[in-house]
Structure 1
Amino acid sequence: MTEQRALIIDNQPTPAASGRSTPDTNPYTGEVFTTVAAAAESDVTAAVDAAERAGRDWADTSPSRRRDILWRAADTLASRAEQAIELMATETGATAGWAGFNAELGAAMLREAAASATRPIGEVLATDAPGVMSLSVREPAGVVAAFAPWNAPLILGCRAIAAPLAAGNTVVLKASEKAPVASGLFIAEALIDAGLPPGVLNVISNDPADAADVAATLVGDRRVRRVNFTGSTMAGRRIAALAAESLTPAVLELGGKNALLVLDDADLDYAARAVTFSAYFNSGQICMSADRVVAHRSIAAELTERIAARAANLSCGDPGDPANALGPLIDTDAAARVASLVDGAVRQGAALAAGGGTPDGACYPATVVTGVTEDMPLHNEEIFGPVCTVLPVDSDAEAVALANASPYGLTAGVLTENLSRGWEVARGLRTGIVHVNDQSIDDEPQAPFGGVKDSGHGRFGGRHGIEAFSETRWITLRGRHKQFPI
């Protein structure tokens, strides 16, 4: 892929008005594999113009037609899985397993949205007024500003647009600067090929230096009536503040400092396999990745040995080589940051059970750290790399308290052979998602997905997505004239 990629406005490839472009770089080789248009404020406004023009017709499009288009788009995306695998390996350093899962779940996001398009959109309310029918009706909100991240570009790019489109909104999607093709352009092409009318979905890409201005222009446009953002907590705060200026509701799915609680009755082989998956899949670059393994002291040492043994066997390198379980991090800066967190903890007294060391370009090995204390940045910051810390505790109550001692609250896992015990522990965790006898990473398009505290607010999935991207109106129908007191 060497050609320059344009913006997509009104279903047409559209260069940036300035003619500027920006490189899209392979994180493993460091080479530029394509360039994309670098949008400025005028391009954002043009995209919103297109979405606004298309809004009424799309809102009036029958639910079954919206359903059919989304379903065809899902089939189209699924049929392009091999292209997606190649694209994500080149653009984000993803291994085939993660990229294939992205294509599969991205298509499922579109299918769930398709099913939502024909669900009931209101209800008849009880009323004390004689001869009156009182209705609660859901209607499209209008133009939605959607932001897609790079780490799960097909999953989260599809999630950014699927429910808004199903609800009858039009969308301007700002693709990630680090994966503009996979998180935006590739998805939009599938929808256009499925018959999506012009202007219903518009995609903008931009140079990283212009990100703040582009986001401010998009969210600040008063025609934008919903904001849909997935990304870091720091960026989410800025987006939320921009949306608040226009009183625009925003759904935010942000960072996580997720804990996997391993109780003293857990199957340790299963626990080690669960930790390996949740800490190292996609090199730990998943919002649900388990940074913290909170283990009962009686089993912590043995569990650490088992995790370290598995970590030592995970090779990191070319994501196109199936022998490598881990690909590179998204860039060399990300790898350097992860290494700095680990090295800093070791200097403060923590110990390496596996991994660590100097990154090889953007590659960093699967790493296990013990002896981490609460004053270390490694303990408090979202790592977003292939690193887990093992934290011993003496009771279930202490495990819950330690897991909750974080400003984040996205997801968690509880490993135990006693489901009743797991239920009690899960009820005590302050996260939006908990998986008992499973690890922290899971997603289903019909489930209410989202976090609490610094992990965001609002929910995606099923009816929750439709509710988030529509307006509820109260309408009454009176069959006879009312008597007024004056």
Structure 2
Amino acid sequence: MVVTRALLIGGGEVPAASGRTTEDLDPYTGEVYAIVAAAGPEDVTRAVDAAHAAFPAWAALAPFARRAVFLEAADLLDARSEEAAALMARETGATRPWAYFNVGLAANILREAAAGVTAPRGEVLSAQEEGALGLAVREPLGVVAAFAPWNAPLILGVRAVAAPLAAGNTVVAKPSERAPIAAGLFVADVLRDAGLPDGVLNVVTNALEDSAEIAETLIADHRVRAVDFTGSTPTGRLIGAHAARHLKPAVLELGGKNSVIVLDDADLDYAVDAATFGVFMNAGQICMSGDRLLVHDSVAEEFTRRFAARAAALPTGDPGHPDTVIGPLVSEDAARRVAALVADAVAAGATVLTGGGNPRGAVHPPTVLSGVTREMELHYAEVFGPVCVVDTFADDETAVALANDTENGLTCGIITENATHGLAVARRIHSGIVHINNQSVADEPHAPFGGVKASGYGRFGGRWGIESFSNTRWITIAGRQARYPF
């Protein structure tokens, strides 16, 4: 049965003004999973109308009432984990463990947002004048444009809206064309059922060919006061440029080219386990995935042998099967792109340790390569698939240089039994996040999440998320009448 969904505007489900729709495909079977409304610029304006109208009441709502919505939504999301897993499998090819992880973390992001609603905001300042009081007060911005990607649709769909809403803003969300339901409409369903008032969160879905026009229209609307984007670096550059053109602040969480560094004192059993997870979870379609494994010379041969064997044994195929680890990529085009990166590297001299070859539909085999050089596209390109490169180093200086040899700077993992050594290396890595004695994929809702360099700017998580989507005002109260020189 094909699912049909409309736009969500002002609390109502409405078709696109043009009547157009677009197909949402199951990446594993290639079948049409859903048909969703294909918004045009006029629908974006309607959604901003609704968000703008709802803003005063939502911003003025008592904090404890706002907090209750987020807590209820978190519990509802937990209760709908089976529904969410089925949705993610059909819409994005997600395996069940990945879907359940999405549910759990997304629910906790909502709980952290609830905590942020009633957390102290602002400071009392020293004043120059005797008896005066200065206040630094944080206030919501207004309407926020939120863009959510497909790869972790519940985590990133919730993250796109949770902090802006908790700060007292209203939101127009534009989910990825690859996951319009999981990354947008399903999230809105949960929040509506939890009591979110009409118009506070609006969702516009669109056809792929209209994505640039929809994004530009949304950002350009003068009532939209901030932009919240998670996605690829190339698209993030365009979004950031549009936001800058209209003098609007943006939080951009973009791509990564992340390393997992295995130091000479690492527990190899643990290192292989950690690297396997960091590289192959969600078939490598995570911004934090470990594209590069940098291994100390003294343990490289043994580590590589064990890791390649582990990769070769990972079950692949149907995301609905409980044992599947490597499900399909988001589309057959995505799988062909990854295969082309591997083929290009092999043609230029790289060695395939396991995997490689042509994908089966959207399913690309888990692949490990060595001998990838700086002249190959794979050295710098974000793979976003179940592929990694193993390289070696003789000392910390070389490991740091290899890890930093990328325009990105999102995350890094350092596997070591010596935390002091790990910290010394971590301090030299140019990334927004480093995990010592862990791999590169980790996310906690209260921690500052984001990258540096071409991995974006701004931070999600905890108080940093609230600060990203609020404005600081300076207010003074005079304790007595002032005297003026004229």
The aligned runs of 1:98-113 (5 Å cut-off) are 98-113=98-113
Secondary structure, aligned partner of 1:4: strand
State the distance in 1 between where 2:370 and 2:3 align.
47
Q: Say if 2:159 is the partner of 1:187.
A: no
1:281-338 per-position Cα deviation (integer Å, ceiling 9, x unaligned) = 0000000000000111221121111111101111211100112211100000100010
Q: Which residue of 2 aligns with 1:355?
A: 355
Shift of residue 127, structure 1, vs aligned partner:
1.2
State the distance in 1 between where 2:164 and 2:27 align.
32
State the distance in 2 between where 1:18 and 1:24 align.
18
Q: Which residue of 1 aligns with 2:385?
A: 385
State the distance in 2 between where 1:287 and 1:63 align.
33
Secondary structure, aligned partner of 1:473: strand
Shift of residue 479, structure 1, vs aligned partner:
2.4
Shift of residue 269, structure 1, vs aligned partner:
1.2
Please give the root-mean-square deviation of Cα atoms over the aligned residues, in Å: 0.7
Q: Which residue of 1 aligns with 2:430?
A: 430
Q: Which residue of 2 aligns with 1:152?
A: 152
| Residue identity opposite 1:12 in structure 2 | G
State the distance in 2 between where 1:59 and 1:300 align.
56
Q: Is the 8 A contact 1:315 1:365 kept in 2?
A: no
State the distance in 2 between where 1:194 and 1:174 align.
21
The aligned runs of 1:116-135 (5 Å cut-off) are 116-135=116-135
The aligned runs of 1:266-277 (5 Å cut-off) are 266-277=266-277
State the distance in 2 between where 1:377 and 1:117 align.
45
Q: Is the 8 A contact 1:297 1:394 kept in 2?
A: yes
Q: Say if 2:227 is the partner of 1:227.
A: yes
Q: Which residue of 2 aligns with 1:414?
A: 414
Shift of residue 136, structure 1, vs aligned partner:
0.3
Q: Is the 8 A contact 1:240 1:250 kept in 2?
A: yes
State the distance in 2 between where 1:105 and 1:323 align.
22
Q: Which residue of 1 aligns with 2:319?
A: 319
| Residue identity opposite 1:457 in structure 2 | Y
1:166-202 per-position Cα deviation (integer Å, ceiling 9, x unaligned) = 1100000001100000000000000000111010000
| Residue identity opposite 1:311 in structure 2 | A
| Residue identity opposite 1:129 in structure 2 | E
Secondary structure, aligned partner of 1:150: coil
State the distance in 2 between where 1:27 and 1:286 align.
17
State the distance in 1 between where 2:349 and 2:246 align.
48
Question: Number of aligned pairs?
Answer: 486
State the distance in 2 between where 1:428 and 1:38 align.
46
Q: Say if 2:38 is the partner of 1:21.
A: no
Q: Which residue of 1 aligns with 2:209?
A: 209
State the distance in 2 between where 1:195 and 1:111 align.
15
| Residue identity opposite 2:132 in structure 1 | V
Shift of residue 265, structure 1, vs aligned partner:
1.0
Q: Which residue of 1 aligns with 2:467?
A: 467
Shift of residue 230, structure 1, vs aligned partner:
0.1
State the distance in 2 between where 1:325 and 1:229 align.
28
Secondary structure, aligned partner of 1:229: strand
Shift of residue 380, structure 1, vs aligned partner:
0.7
State the distance in 2 between where 1:323 and 1:109 align.
28
State the distance in 1 between where 2:245 and 2:374 align.
36
Q: Which residue of 1 aligns with 2:89?
A: 89
The aligned runs of 1:369-408 (5 Å cut-off) are 369-408=369-408
Q: Which residue of 2 aligns with 1:77?
A: 77
Shift of residue 417, structure 1, vs aligned partner:
1.0
| Residue identity opposite 1:180 in structure 2 | P
State the distance in 2 between where 1:175 and 1:6 align.
13
Shift of residue 11, structure 1, vs aligned partner:
1.3
Q: Which residue of 2 aligns with 1:290?
A: 290
State the distance in 2 between where 1:3 and 1:118 align.
38
State the distance in 1 between where 2:205 and 2:216 align.
14
TM superposition score normalised by structure 1: 0.99
Shift of residue 26, structure 1, vs aligned partner:
0.1
State the distance in 2 between where 1:478 and 1:420 align.
52
| Residue identity opposite 1:425 in structure 2 | V
State the distance in 1 between where 2:466 and 2:293 align.
35
| Residue identity opposite 1:374 in structure 2 | R
State the distance in 1 between where 2:330 and 2:475 align.
50
State the distance in 2 between where 1:127 and 1:334 align.
58
| Residue identity opposite 2:66 in structure 1 | R
The aligned runs of 1:1-20 (5 Å cut-off) are 1-20=1-20
Shift of residue 211, structure 1, vs aligned partner:
0.1
Q: Which residue of 2 aligns with 1:239?
A: 239
Q: Say if 2:173 is the partner of 1:178.
A: no
| Residue identity opposite 1:32 in structure 2 | V
| Residue identity opposite 2:151 in structure 1 | N
1:116-155 per-position Cα deviation (integer Å, ceiling 9, x unaligned) = 0001111110112112110000000110000000000000
State the distance in 1 between where 2:3 and 2:390 align.
46
Secondary structure, aligned partner of 2:181: helix
Moved over 3 A (4+): none
| Residue identity opposite 1:298 in structure 2 | S
State the distance in 2 between where 1:3 and 1:454 align.
37
State the distance in 1 between where 2:63 and 2:397 align.
49
State the distance in 2 between where 1:399 and 1:480 align.
62
State the distance in 1 between where 2:70 and 2:246 align.
30
Shift of residue 3, structure 1, vs aligned partner:
3.4
Secondary structure, aligned partner of 1:428: coil
Shift of residue 480, structure 1, vs aligned partner:
1.6
State the distance in 1 between where 2:338 and 2:301 align.
24
Secondary structure, aligned partner of 2:427: helix
State the distance in 1 between where 2:241 and 2:61 align.
33
Cα distance change, pair 3–86 in 1 and its aligned pair in 2 (3 A): closer
Q: Which residue of 2 aligns with 1:248?
A: 248
1:348-398 per-position Cα deviation (integer Å, ceiling 9, x unaligned) = 111011111110000011110001111111111000000110011111110
Q: Which residue of 2 aligns with 1:42?
A: 42
